[in-house]
Amino acid sequence: MTVTLVKNATLGDCMPTAFAANLTLVAELNAQIAIELAAIASLNLRLGAALEVSLSPPAIMLDAAIVAQLAASVTLPSFSVNLSGIVADIQAELAVKAAALAELQAKLAAALALTVSFGSAGMRLYKYTGPLDQMGGELAAYTAGTPGDGGMQQDAEVTSVFFVTDIPGASVALSLILGV
């Protein structure tokens, strides 16, 4: 029977593939967020342009007396532009983009929390090789039975790898990463 300390490390050191996958996820989420923010900025510009549409008569340089005569005798037509449909469409698109952005930001927050967890120090990774029944009473009771009913033979030679920590933050991180 042998128990060997494989390494003192962070969780990221112990699980490099999972750590790398999480970093890739963070980068992808950041890229998707940038795309959503650009789309929202574009929609905001369209909305602003639609709301700023106005018609005004051209400026003409005239003598004040002529202007007074024209003002008394001329009625300018009124113009009406209905932009409510365009504005409503843009606002609906903005609402969809805002919801997508919120979802991406929530995913990014979770991925960043996981990234921090991978940095938790104080992990010890051990490897055990030997008979199952010599790993300890609790494990022996848990694995009791016969191979036919899901149990393991207690004298079987096994290899196990296990994490040990006495740091509460690292324990929480380990549980988060492994889902236990």
Contact assessment for residue 24 and residue 85, using Cβ atoms and an 8 Å cutoff: no
Task: For residues 18 and 136, give the distance between their C-alpha atoms in angstroms, rounded to a whole number.
Answer: 29
What pLDDT does 24 receive?
94
Write down the pLDDT at residue 28. 95
Beta pairing, strands 157-164 & 2-9:
unpaired
Question: DSSP code of 149?
Answer: G
Find the helix or strand (DSSP H, E) in which 61 lies. Answer: none
| Lowest-confidence pick of 12-21, 73-82, 87-96, 159-168 | 73-82
**Separation in Å, CA 106 to CA 33, 96, 112, 140, 153:** 11, 16, 10, 42, 46
Residue 141 has pLDDT above 60, yes or no: yes
Question: Which range, of 123-137, 141-155, 157-171, averages the lowest pLDDT?
Answer: 141-155
| DSSP 8-state secondary structure symbol assigned to residue 136 | -
For 118, the token pair is 């991978």
